[in-house]
Amino acid sequence: MTDEPTVFVVDDDPSVRRSVVRLLESAGLRVEGFDSGEAFLEHRRRTGPACVVLDVRMSGMSGLELQRRLSATGRPMAIVFITGHGDVPMSVAAMKGGAVDFLLKPFDDEALLAAIDRAIGRDRAWLLEQQELAVLRVGYDRLTPREQQVFALVAAGLLNKQVAAQLGTSEKTIKVHRARVMAKMEALSLADLVRHAERLQITARHPDWRA
Partner 1 sequence: MTGPEDVEHDVFSPPAPSGPAARAVGFKRLLEATQIVQWEADAQTRDFTYVGSQAERLLGYPLARWLEPAFWKTHLHPDDLDRVLRFREEALREREAYEFEYRMIAAGGNSVWFHDVVAVQRLDGVAAVIRGFLIDVSKRKRAEATARASEARVRQLIEQAPDAIVAARANGQVAFVNHQAEHLFGYQPGALVGEQLEQVLSGPRVKEYLEEPGLALGAPSVTMTEGTVPATARRADGRTFPVAVNFGRLETDEGLVVVTTVRDVSHQIEAEQALRQSEERFRIAATLGADIIAEADISTGGVVWFGNVDEAMGFARGEFPRTLDGLRDRGHPDDRGRVRRAMSRSVFEQGGVVSFECRLRSKEGLYRHWTVRAVPRSDSDDLSKTFVAVCSDVTEQIVARAEALQHRDALAHVARVSSLGELTGAVAHELNQPLAAILSNAQAAVRLLDRDAPDVRQVREVLHDIVADDRRASAIIQRLREMMRGESSSRETIDLGAVVQEVREIMRSGLSMRGIAVLSEFASDLPPVVADRIQIQQVVVNLVTNAMQAMDELPEASLTFRVFERDDGWQVVTVDDTGPGISPTMLATMFNPFNTSREGGLGMGLSISRSIVEAHGGEMQAEPLATGGATVGFALPPSP
Q: Count residues binding partner 1 (CB under 8 A).
A: 31
Among 8, 107, 140, 151, binds partner 1 (CB under 8 A): 107
Is residue 157 part of the contact set for partner 1 (CB under 8 A)?
A: no
**Is-contact 93 63, C-beta < 8 A?**
no
- Residue 140 CA, chain-centre distance (Å), reads 20
Nearer of residues 15 and 201 to partner 1, judged by Cβ: 15
Which among 24-32, 70-78, 166-174, 187-195 is the span making contact with partner 1, rule CB under 8 A? 24-32
DSSP-derived secondary structure letter, 206: -
Cα distances from 18 to residues 14, 170, 175, in angstroms, run 6, 69, 63
Give the shortest CB-67-to-partner 1 separation in angstroms. 14
Is residue 200 part of the contact set for partner 1 (CB under 8 A)?
A: no
What's phi and psi for 103, nearest 5 deg? -105, 140
| 3-class state of residue 153 by DSSP | helix
Is residue 41 part of the contact set for partner 1 (CB under 8 A)?
A: no
Specify whether the backbone of 34 is left (phi greater than 0), alpha (psi in -120 to 50) or beta: beta
Is residue 12 part of the contact set for partner 1 (CB under 8 A)?
A: yes
Total length of the chain: 211
Give the shortest CB-61-to-partner 1 separation in angstroms. 8
Instruction: Please list the residues that pair with 112 across neighbouring strands.
Output: none
Determine the Cα–Cα distance for residues 124 and 129; give it in Å rounded to an integer: 8
Is residue 13 part of the contact set for partner 1 (CB under 8 A)?
A: yes
Among 43, 45, 84, 192, binds partner 1 (CB under 8 A): 84
Where do contacts with partner 1 occur on this chain (CB under 8 A)? 12-13, 15-16, 18-20, 22-23, 25-27, 56-60, 62, 65, 82-85, 87, 104-109, 112
